[in-house]
Structure 1
Amino acid sequence: MNKLLVLVLAVWCGAAHAQTPTTNPMPDGSRDMYAGLGVVSGARYEGADDRKQRALPVLQVQWSNGIFISGMSAGMHLSGRPTVEYGPLLAVHPRRNESGAAGSIDDVQGFNTLLPVTMRQGSGRGNPLAGMDEIKARPEAGAFFNYYLAPEWRLTSSVLAGAGNDRNGMRAELGIQRLAARVAPHHTVSVSAGLGFVNRAYNQSYFGVTAEQSANSGNPAYRPDGGLKDVRLGARWNWTLSPSWMLTSTVQASRLAGDARHSPLVERPTNVTVSTAFAYRF
């Protein structure tokens, strides 16, 4: 069951922070599938000062041959060693329009927003994305590599390329996870920390402002370099209601760093995302 807890929560990070589920040994020809629905509250876009609440579908499927689908990402476990996980990884980086709302998981997967959007323009200067080009959803391809320091501690890493309108944005993730620790019967808690790195093309697409965009939006022109993009801390609580049902909740704090943090599109460099969902095992 502990592996289930890791699998389901991989969906919450969506395309923003692609995660890979742990290897789940199963009989040949079998599969595990988890599906559910919850809600998430987070920044309207990376660096926004206002927040949006939306419905969040939870979907995770893993087959005995190592192939998995986890929300907006998919991949395959190729390692036969219990302490090492690696393989190819695919993901969908969501689009971003002037409202920022099009980059949500529910929009990409066809789910409608159930809760009202809360708009709070703390900067007093309107919407920084107004007049900026829409960034289309793009498929990304790459690989992941994870290493177990101990059965309950895992170092994680992934590299994905293909984001942005020119499809030349690249991002890499490095992290550490403390897998589910039992704190009471049917209750477990996990914690994680991570760093995100991007190339110049990625930062220019999502945090840069060209001369033409500056004229259209009123934002000052800005040409960021690549490097460290953000740092993250997260915690997850899982309540196993029955062998088939689970309530899972997360909180994640992230802070933009480097050139991304100084973008004129960024109103608030630090944001907190909270979410909760019911998941059913088929």
Structure 2
Amino acid sequence: MKTLFALALGTMSCAAWAQTPATNPMPDGSHDMYVGLGAIAAPRWQGAESSKVSALPVLQIQWSTGLFISGMSAGIHLSQNPTLEFGPLVAIQPRRDESGLATGVGGTGGFSGDVSTAGPPSVIVGTRNRLAGMNPIPTRPMGGGFFNYYLAPQWRLTSSILYGAGSERHGGLLDLGVQRLVSPLAQPHKFSFSAGVSVANRAYNQSYFGVTVPEAVVSGRRVYPAAGGLKDAHLGVRWNWALSPEWMLTSNLLATRLLGSASNSPLVERPTNVTVSTAIAYRF
């Protein structure tokens, strides 16, 4: 099966991990579905020093028509060319409040978004919460598309663009990356390596890294007008272990480094974050 297995880790980087599952040729009228459960340890928000461990449901479905659902994203493969993948893409941008980002649903080859969260807003790990006084950012549906190109069977250039995030729904994210799939002699084990960068427009960075005058009055932080541009660079490693034809254990390590205006935000405690997850999924 050609599917490029990967546990979705969009909790902290969203569009950067809105990766589409690879085209999976199958008989007309058929589908391929994975359902599972795991755990994820991720920063509380983009640039947070503290992390939280949460349960991570896993869901991915692909249909022979090209339609797919992967975690909290969905799209359609429109290309008939085996070296090209493109089509529309929709995803969920997580809610952020004073407790940070929420935890959502992952997939075996795509994006993980978030839904909602609640918790103590004032103190995290003995320090004053930098999100205290910031306006909550609701969960936002984002729309756009993806375009991937295979340089070789094991190498894939990836790109996606999504729009609609942030306080005013005008936030946009562009992700550019490369993936390398490695299948050692022990066929049950598959490794994939990825690297990429995310570019955000001003509306996105202002929502997630900026501080407005009213927020500065409430929080006591300085006013910070965030600019658009490079938002982060990210590196990922995935290990997938086929325990049987039906069961798969998938683990992921993602390192993200905030850049530019995002990294200089007074809301950022640490510009480099690491996210780790593992899950077991059953194939129907």
When normalised by structure 2's length, the TM-score is 0.91
In structure 2, distance between residues paired with 1:254 and 1:111: 22
Determine if contact 1:93/1:137 at 8 Å carries over to the other structure. yes
The one-letter code of the counterpart of 1:12 is L
Amino acid at match of 2:136: E
Q: CA deviation at 1:218?
A: 1.2
C-alpha distance 109-261 of structure 1, shift in aligned 2 (>3 A): closer
Q: CA–CA distance in 2 between the matches of 1:238 and 1:7? A: 7
1:246 to 221, 232, 248: 248
Report the CA distance between 1:8 and its aligned residue. Answer: 4.7
Summarize deviations over 1:171-205 as a string: whole Å, max 9, x none. Answer: 00000000242253411211000100000000000
8 Å Cα contact 2:179-2:193 kept in structure 1: yes
1:267, 1:216 → 2: CA distance?
Answer: 19
Q: CA deviation at 1:165?
A: 1.9
- Whose helix fraction is larger, Structure 1's or Structure 2's? 1
Contact kept, 8 Å, 2:103 with 2:117, in 1: the verdict is no
Q: Distance in 2 between matches of 1:108 and 1:232?
A: 19
Match of 1:195 in 2: 197
- What SS class does the counterpart of residue 135 from structure 1 fall into? coil
Counterpart residue number, 2:109: none
Say which is worse superposed, 242-251 or 179-188, in terms of deviation: 179-188
Q: Does 1:131 align with 2:130?
A: no
- Taking a change above 3 Å as real, the CA distance of residues 110 and 247 of structure 1, as seen in their structure-2 partners, is farther
CA distance in 2, matches of 1:110, 1:66: 30
Preserved contact between residue 142 and residue 160 of structure 1 (Cα < 8 Å): yes
The CA deviation at 1:12 is 3.0
**Helix, strand or coil: the match of 2:261?**
helix
What is the 5 A alignment of 1:77-116?
A: 77-101=77-101, 103-105=102-104, 108=114
Unaligned regions of 5+ residues in structure 1, if any? Answer: none
Tell me the distance in 1 between the aligned counterparts of 2:118 and 2:187: 36
Q: For 1:221-236, what aligned pairs fall within 5 Å after superposition?
A: 221-236=223-238
How far residue 26 of structure 1 moved from its aligned partner, in angstroms, is 0.6
For residues 54 and 100 of structure 2, what CA distance do their matches in structure 1 show? Answer: 13
8 Å Cα contact 1:52-1:119 kept in structure 2: no
Q: Which residue of 2 aligns with 1:35?
A: 35
Structure 1 segment 197-276 matched on structure 2, within 5 A: 197-276=199-278
Q: How far is 1:137 from its partner?
A: 0.5
- Aligned-partner Cα distance in 2 for 1:178–1:168: 33
Would you say the 8 A contact 1:175–1:193 is kept in 2? yes
Shift of 1:109: 5.5
Contact 2:95-2:117 at 8 Å conserved across structures:
no
2:122 is aligned with 1:120: no
Q: Closer, same or farther in 2 for the Cα pair 1:133/1:204, shift >3 Å?
A: same
User: Of 142, 145, 166, which residue of structure 2 is paired with 1:143?
Assistant: 145
Greater than 3 Å deviation, 4+ residue runs: 106-113
Q: Which moved more, 1:175-184 or 1:54-63?
A: 175-184
Local SS of the residue matching 1:232: strand
Distance 1:245 1:49 in 2: 35
- Shift of the alpha carbon at 1:224? 1.2
**Paired position in structure 1 for 2:25:** 25
Q: Secondary structure at the match of 1:233?
A: strand
1:2 Cα deviation (Å)?
5.1
Give secondary structure in 1 for the equivalent of 2:217: helix
- Relative to 1, partners in 2 of residues 1:110 and 1:131: Cα closer, same or farther, differing over 3 Å? closer
Please, which runs of 5 or more residues in structure 2 have no aligned partner? 106-112
Give the match for residue 9 of structure 2: 12
CA distance in 1, matches of 2:71, 2:158: 18
RMSD across aligned positions (CA): 2.0
Q: Distance in 1 between matches of 2:69 and 2:182?
A: 21
**Partner SS, residue 134 of structure 1:** coil
Once residues 118 and 239 of structure 2 are traced to their aligned partners in structure 1, the CA distance between those partners, rounded to angstroms, is 26
Counterpart amino acid of 1:70?
A: S
